[in-house]
Structure 1
Amino acid sequence: MLSLKALQKNKTFRYGVPMLLLVVGSSFGLREFAQIRYDAQKLNKKLDPSLAAKVNMEKQSVMLEEEFEKMKDVNLDDWKNIRGPRPGENSREYQEQQRMRRTPES
């Protein structure tokens, strides 16, 4: 059996075991601190009941079929891509120029 002096001279026991304990222990410590953070965020996210009801109604009111019906009626054949202004260009002047070029064909 190894004596206490032999264990103190062993590099694995002297440096490896404390390092292993530090790594494993810190992962558990980080988990606890992160859990505290998420619990605090959950408490701060609670909404006013009237506001929460309004948000839920907005989420429920949008249906995929309704959006499809809106898009089905849009005429995409006459659509033309107009690029936005580049840095340094006057956006209003450029948009007016693009609109003038985009006259409907008769």
Structure 2
Amino acid sequence: MLTFKALQRNKTLKYGVPMLLLVVGGSFGLREFTQIRYDAQKIMKKLDPTLEAKVNPQKQSVILEEEYQKIKDVNLEEWRNIRGPRPWEDSKEYQEQQRSRQGKAA
């Protein structure tokens, strides 16, 4: 009986042990919760088959060849670099100027 009362008055047992259990138990609990989070992200991360074909490096060469065929047909000789309007310029007025210049150049 005397030792039980002495243990109840001991500050280490009264405050230290529960704090230690909280810290150690909390770390294990957090590990479990974060593992659930990462598992859920893996499931949600499954790619759409069409998107996966674009990302997959083995099929990348097929896509590059298709893009090359598209670009090959573009006529770059008649291409002009036209800058956009500045923030202080009126965009409608600037577009009209560019169109009139483009018509004169052609």
Under TM normalisation by the shorter chain, which class is it? 0.5 to 0.7
Query: What are the ranges of 5 or more consecutive residues in structure 2 without an aligned counterpart?
Result: 65-85, 95-106
2:47 is paired with a residue of what secondary structure?
A: coil
1:18 offset after TM fit, Å? 0.1
1:27 aligns to 2:18 (yes or no) = no
CA distance in 1, matches of 2:41, 2:14: 41
1:50 offset after TM fit, Å? 3.2
Letter in 2 for 1:46: K
CA distance in 1, matches of 2:90, 2:44: 41
Render the CA deviation track for 1:16-75: whole Å, top value 9, x for unaligned: 110111011011101100100110110011113332012225xx568xxxxxxxxxxxxx
Question: What is the TM-score normalised by the length of structure 1?
Answer: 0.52
1:7 offset after TM fit, Å? 1.1
Which one has the largest radius of gyration?
2
Identity %: 70
Query: What are the ranges of 5 or more consecutive residues in structure 1 without an aligned counterpart?
Result: 63-83, 97-106
2:46 is paired with a residue of what secondary structure?
A: coil
CA distance in 2, matches of 1:11, 1:52: 60
Runs of 4+, deviation exceeding 3 Å: none
Letter in 2 for 1:92: S
Letter in 2 for 1:9: R
CA distance in 2, matches of 1:91, 1:32: 59
Higher RCO (C-alpha under 8 Å, 6+ residues apart): 1
Match of residue 100 from structure 1: none
Tell me the C-alpha RMSD between the 2 structures: 3.6
CA distance in 2, matches of 1:4, 1:33: 38
Render the CA deviation track for 1:81-106: whole Å, top value 9, x for unaligned: xxx63xxx56737xx5xxxxxxxxxx
The 1:18–1:50 alpha-carbon spacing in structure 2 relative to 1, beyond 3 Å, is: same
CA distance in 1, matches of 2:18, 2:36: 27
1:40 aligns to 2:36 (yes or no) = no
